[in-house]
Amino acid sequence: MPPMHWTDAIVESLKSHDVWLIPYVPDAITWQVLSKLEQDPAFHTVPVAREEEAIAVAAGAYAAGKRAAVFVQSSGFGNTINSLAQLSQAHKIPVPTFVGMRGGLGEFNPVQIPSAHPIPGFLDAMNIPHYAPMVEDDVTSYVDGALELSFASRMPVAVLLYSQLVGAKRATS
């Protein structure tokens, strides 16, 4: 049996972990998932103006007894750091964060590269686990595992979505 499309695999993993609130800043990569979440009554999506808001909205939902996951693009990931550190890590609030990774194979915009490449290093320096499924066969196990890790230990965990999995954005698209 062929694996589920990576977007469906993420949707199903979020459902199986009772994730409900989805704060996000959209991008072409994560929108492939977000557009499905927006149509699915199991989720409440919250477009925000800036990435750190997304972390804080997710933290608030968890503080009130619900589960949330955040979607952002690599170019704005840096905006999440203060909230990840001083809310999610300091208060031990689980915030699974999906990052649409630009700056890799097929990248047409040179400014995406210096913001995306340091992200694994930022995450390592912050002691935030991060995982990057590169093929559809791995998406369910990686995302299930990341969500379990985040909620069981009440910590932020990042899932990095690279072009090897999601396809490169085209300059003309």
Partner 1 sequence: MLRPDGIRALLDRVTDEPIIANLGSATFDLYHAQQRDANFYTWGAMGMVSSIGLGVALAAPEKKVYVIDGDGSLLMNLGSLGTIARQNPKNLVHIVMDNQQWAETGGQPTHTSTGTDLAEIARASGIAHVIRVASLEDFEDALDHAVNEDGPWCIVADIEEHGHGARPPVSVEENLLRFRRTFTD
Instruction: State the residues that interact with partner 1 by CB under 8 A.
Output: 20-21, 23, 44, 46-50, 52-53, 55-66, 68, 82-83, 85-87, 90-93
Closer CB to partner 1, residue 59 or residue 116? 59
Closer CB to partner 1, residue 10 or residue 56? 56
In contact, 73 and 103? CB cutoff 8 Å? no
What gap in Å lies between CA 53 and CA 57, rounded to an integer?
6
In contact, 51 and 79? CB cutoff 8 Å? yes
Please state the closest distance from residue 45 (CB atom) to partner 1, in A.
10
Of the candidates 159, 167, 31, 46, the residue with the CA atom closest to the CA atom of residue 95: 159
Please state the closest distance from residue 10 (CB atom) to partner 1, in A.
21
Please state the closest distance from residue 111 (CB atom) to partner 1, in A.
22
Please state the closest distance from residue 39 (CB atom) to partner 1, in A.
18
Which residue, chain included where needed, has tokens 């590269």?
Answer: 113
Please state the closest distance from residue 155 (CB atom) to partner 1, in A.
12
What gap in Å lies between CA 40 and CA 51, rounded to an integer?
23
What gap in Å lies between CA 85 and CA 91, rounded to an integer?
9
Closer CB to partner 1, residue 60 or residue 145? 60
Closer CB to partner 1, residue 5 or residue 15? 15
Q: Which token pair is 36?
A: 């499905």
Closer CB to partner 1, residue 50 or residue 117? 50
Q: Which token pair is 109?
A: 């915009």
